Structure 1
């Protein structure tokens, strides 16, 4: 009886591969659920889904992820929100300008965010629950941007 040695002969290799594949599938599904929760939450507060989608496109663009930005831009059904997706635009009124400035800062310069930035949102009339919702959206987009940037690096390494 010939016995094969090495990792290719191990039944654990197949088990590990299966576990890794299941974990990846779970991560993808959980990521989709997180995206739905921040883009179209049951209670959107002061920021409707189309506004959130525009901000997602904006954050992707600020992070240099053109394809991800295009993905979100394609989901914008209301033309009024297309301008908001453009990082060169600042918002339509004082409240929105404060929110957009905050979102841009968190997306592009997270280490520069200070307590006063939250105070600025409150002064602009943004409710505390909405501030939490904005931070959730930005946190998810940070995660998504990092995943997409990492995948791009891996794709480049494989080429």
Structure 2
């Protein structure tokens, strides 16, 4: 699953470097140091990742409206997924994010949320 959402053969409008930056940003938002280290290394190793590295920091927004819309939506799905509405999807479309890329972004964020929760549970079991 991780390979499918982080480094798919056909990344569409979400290049691998951006995906790694979103993953690091999500790990930072949930304050998971181990995941942050994992995704930082992944971002650094990713071709073109350096161009997205600044956006791995939660709250950092680019001037580019499309990229900013993608990051805002990723933040929303990371912090408050239930808060996402049809208006948020329309905002992505208005920023020229295609429907396939909206789906790709949702898949990535869902995987990241699942991964963070799974790892937290495994750590709790390990320490029990």
Tell me the TM-score normalised to structure 1 length: 0.74
Residues 92 and 148 from structure 1, CA distance in 2 versus in 1: closer, same or farther, beyond 3 angstroms?
farther
Name the structure 2 match of 1:97.
Answer: 68
Report deviation, 1:88.
Answer: 2.8
Name the structure 2 match of 1:127.
Answer: 98
Alignment match of 1:73 (pick from 40, 43, 59): 40
Name the structure 1 match of 2:26.
Answer: 59
Name the structure 1 match of 2:110.
Answer: 139
Q: Secondary structure at the match of 1:72?
A: helix
Report the Cα distance in structure 2 between the residues aligned to 1:71 and 1:92, rounded to whole angstroms.
Answer: 27
Structure 1 stretches of 4+ with a deviation exceeding 6 A read none
Q: Secondary structure at the match of 1:82?
A: helix
Report deviation, 1:49.
Answer: 0.6
Report the Cα distance in structure 2 between the residues aligned to 1:115 and 1:156, rounded to whole angstroms.
Answer: 41
Report the Cα distance in structure 1 between the residues aligned to 2:103 and 2:112, rounded to whole angstroms.
Answer: 14
Answer 1 or 2: higher relative contact order, Cα 8 Å, separation at least 6.
2
Name the structure 2 match of 1:41.
Answer: 8
Name the structure 1 match of 2:84.
Answer: 113
Superposed CA RMSD = 1.2
Q: Secondary structure at the match of 2:41?
A: helix
- Aligned residue pairs total 124
Report the Cα distance in structure 2 between the residues aligned to 1:113 and 1:150, rounded to whole angstroms.
Answer: 25
Report deviation, 1:84.
Answer: 1.2
Does 2:56 correspond to 1:85? yes
Report the Cα distance in structure 2 between the residues aligned to 1:46 and 1:147, rounded to whole angstroms.
Answer: 28
Report the Cα distance in structure 1 between the residues aligned to 2:77 and 2:43, rounded to whole angstroms.
Answer: 22
Tell me the TM-score normalised to structure 2 length: 0.91
Report the Cα distance in structure 2 between the residues aligned to 1:146 and 1:49, rounded to whole angstroms.
Answer: 23
